Chains A and B, each alone.
Chain A
Amino acid sequence: MVTGDVKLIGSWASVFVMRARIALNLKSISYEFLQETYGTKSELLLKSNPVHKKMPVLIHADKPVCESNIIVQYIDEAWSSYGPSILPSQPYDRAIARFWAAYVDDKWFIALRSILTARGEEEKKAAIAEVEERTDHLEKAFIDCSNGKPFFNGDHIGYLDIALGSFLGWWRVVELDANHILLDETKTPSLFKWAERFCNDPAVKPLMPETTKLAEFARKLFPKPQA
């Protein structure tokens, strides 16, 4: 197994960066966190990810790995004997976890973000309805995947927990912005309880940004159009 220094290029506010950090925490890997400055992209980032020019980038023994879900899988495989497994062991369970993680990014997140970028009440209402429908799918997914256990991955947080859970900070920010509950204790009770457990996990707790700080950052990223 290759050891060697570990660096992570990222930002405290990024969901995708948080995924990598949670995975590194699960494996108890120490790393140097290279915080990008908002509004610019460092030379190292551009050099390490010339195709997408995006964070996170994990640099392990000078070799870059890009794309958050790919980084999480890499961490699981490169440090397979450290800490719990992040991906399920059975091929079918792995396929299901990958399917829902892709759903989170391709469908659910897009809907969540469209609440922040919605222009006018009609657009906002439509976006909220879409998020609620998709969150409902995730509630069912949780019930199927967890099989009565505390996390999507069973007893410990895993790939799909990380994929969705990293959004919890922003999830709260969007709730505040929309003035509408988006993780409802009565509509999606399993997810609601899972969210609390996830945020309290020792691998996650130090990383979840404070809601007010994140909300302030969100206002920079998604400025409201002048009335």
Chain B
Amino acid sequence: MIPVETTERIHHTNLNDNNAEVMIRLQNINKVYRTDTVETLAINNISLNIDKGEFLSIMGPSGCGKSTLLNIMGLLDNPTKGEVSIDKQDTTKLNDKKLAAFRNRKLGFIFQSYHLINDLKVLDNVELPLLYRNSTAKERRQLATEALEKVGLSNRMKHFPTQLSGGQKQRVAIARAIVGQPEIILADEPTGNLDSAMGNEIMEILLQLNERDGTTIVMVTHDENMARKTHRLVRLFDGSQVQ
């Protein structure tokens, strides 16, 4: 079995504190995928607390359930069993409207394949989360511009995603994730499609977000070097946490 590994913490501040605030609490999560022929136990009884301001990375072999776990944390998918609380709110009781508002306010997503809307310009892509809350066009424009400045892409605002390199696309996706100033960012292999130089750049942005803004970040990665830079590493194997 894969050995338990906990990376050295970069910050020794309040994270070791027993009374640190828990941001994400997973309790006995199970996820079963049922297709016509097979039942896949993608997540097997995982309980996990992630503190406010923590940068957590998740590793594990392909198909072990990393994305599934992240989606459950991000309220994009329902667990078959178990409870997900975010910022002390039990999310199992939220209806679709409340869930959407919750995702919009609290969560930012970054995906391996970027998931940009190719028919929208960079700026419009970044504005997207703001469309689903009360905001004026002017506010949206300003926040999106600021977010793009943070990821160093203010010179590409009028481009379409297809006109960008992979690294640039991912930076747009990060800008989109942070534009609504969420407390949590969930990143699923954000550097998976990028070369190491580009990957490091993305990682730097994430680290900065965590350090400067105190954003709680959960990142799935295959890269040990990336994982080493985070506060804590959780390893999954066949849907279970090996720790």
Q: A and B: partners? A: no
Seen from chain A, the residues whose Cβ lies within 8 Å of a Cβ on chain B are none
